[in-house]
């Protein structure tokens, strides 16, 4: 009975892994960039070599056990072959050659995925990991955003990676390998994609209770769309259009919100939470966990701990304040 449940657990895990590999989950085995394609290639080569070795070695063990097992009336020790020089040389030299081959393939792959020289049109992004969201600064364009990284198709994004608190790890499996964000250090990596689309990623270094709620969305778009997005982000924040929104603006810009959040060019200059200047231009919120719209924003502000338990924003807006704050935030397009 116990063995059955153990076996069942293994089967379910394997099925889960298989599904994760071919269903919607982002996988490095469905590469969408030259870097991840090369990494996936190395994975399959190593797997194939390991499979051949496994089948050969296990096959020989099974063969020898079956062939040389004790039969009926046999007694005493079988013939000993200790000190068989030719065999000893073979099983020393063959693994050594395999390891040297793997070393060469690894060095070749490292060279192939190394950052290229910056070219015309490439972009620079400063990535800061926070518990539990991502800050993306575009220093050449003078704005900052969160959780959604926009990249023009055909260009490389050169990232510098820092942490505001603990160790995080930036991982978008279909585009590149992982790089850690380490407090007090600056790491770097680069990204590019073969085709337009949205590529999902995830913090991959355990960083606390909402580690899983620290998602990345990389939006790869045409140069034209990218430039349009940059113009939107560079524009000053929209000013309150109604009395209610004005009331909300006053609360956000001078109230408690401003100690953690920024709205560019205003008195709200907090650096703890995501920049709100063009909040509604993003399609996700709460570290990329939820779609961003008025309904989710309302649910979030009513009790931030309900949607993302343990997150560092502890707010429960009263119904009267809610209407005003929502009126202001939802016009920050």
Residue that has been written with the tokens 């964000």 in this structure: 181
Q: Does 276 bind ligand CUA (CB under 6 A)?
A: no
Q: Which of 113, 214, 285, 289 binds ligand CUA (CB under 6 A)?
A: 214
Q: Does 206 bind ligand CUA (CB under 6 A)?
A: yes
> Which is closer to ligand CUA, CB of 134 or CB of 143?
134
Segment 123 to 152, residues that bind ligand CUA, using CB under 6 A: 129
Number of residues in contact with ligand CUA under rule CB under 6 A: 8
**Span from 201-209, 233-241, 257-265, 293-301 in contact with ligand CUA (CB under 6 A):** 201-209
- What's CA 314's distance to the chain center, in Å? 26
Neighbours of 149 (CB within 10 A): 24
Q: Does 217 bind ligand CUA (CB under 6 A)?
A: no
Q: Which of 39, 162, 205, 249 binds ligand CUA (CB under 6 A)?
A: 205
User: Rounded to the nearest whole angstrom, what is the least distance from the CB of residue 180 to ligand CUA in the complex?
Assistant: 10
User: Rounded to the nearest whole angstrom, what is the least distance from the CB of residue 25 to ligand CUA in the complex?
Assistant: 17
Which of 151, 180, 328, 307 is closest to 252 using CA atoms? 328
User: Rounded to the nearest whole angstrom, what is the least distance from the CB of residue 211 to ligand CUA in the complex?
Assistant: 4
Segment 152 to 171, residues that bind ligand CUA, using CB under 6 A: 168
Structure tokens at 127: 């990535």
User: Rounded to the nearest whole angstrom, what is the least distance from the CB of residue 215 to ligand CUA in the complex?
Assistant: 10
Binding site for ligand CUA (CB under 6 A): 129, 168, 203, 205-207, 211, 214
């Amino acid at each position: 009975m116990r063995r059955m449940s153990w076996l069942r657990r293994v089967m379910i895990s394997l099925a889960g892994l298989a599904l994760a590999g071919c269903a919607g989950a982002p996988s490095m085995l469905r590469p969408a960039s030259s870097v991840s394609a090369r990494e996936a290639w190395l994975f399959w080569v190593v797997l194939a070599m390991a499979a051949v070795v496994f089948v050969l070695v296990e096959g020989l063990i099974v063969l020898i056990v079956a062939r040389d097992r004790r039969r009926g009336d046999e007694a005493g020790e079988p013939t000993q072959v200790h000190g068989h020089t030719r065999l000893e040389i073979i099983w020393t030299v063959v693994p050594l050659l395999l390891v040297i081959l793997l070393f060469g393939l690894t060095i070749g792959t490292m060279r192939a995925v190394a950052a290229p020289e910056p070219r015309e049109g490439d972009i620079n992004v400063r990535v800061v990991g926070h518990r539990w969201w991502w800050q993306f600064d575009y220093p050449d364009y003078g704005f900052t955003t969160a959780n959604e990284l926009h990249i023009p198709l055909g260009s490389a994004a050169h990232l510098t990676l820092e942490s505001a608190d603990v160790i995080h790890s930036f991982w978008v499996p279909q585009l590149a390998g992982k790089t850690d964000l380490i407090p007090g250090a600056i790491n770097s990596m680069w990204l590019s994609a073969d085709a337009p689309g949205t590529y999902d990623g995830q913090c991959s270094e355990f960083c606390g209770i909402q580690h899983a709620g620290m998602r990345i969305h990389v939006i790869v778009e045409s140069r034209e769309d990218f430039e349009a997005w940059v113009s939107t982000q560079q524009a000053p924040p929209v000013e309150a259009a109604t009395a209610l929104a004005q009331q909300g603006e006053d609360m956000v810009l001078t109230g408690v919100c401003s100690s953690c959040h920024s709205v560019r060019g205003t008195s709200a200059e907090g650096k703890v939470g995501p920049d709100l200047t063009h909040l509604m231009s993003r399609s996700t919120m709460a570290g990329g966990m939820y779609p961003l719209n008025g309904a989710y924003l309302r649910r979030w502000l009513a009790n931030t701990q309900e949607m993302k338990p343990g997150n560092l924003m502890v707010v429960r807006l009263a119904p009267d304040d809610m209407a005003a704050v929502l009126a202001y935030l939802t016009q920050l397009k």
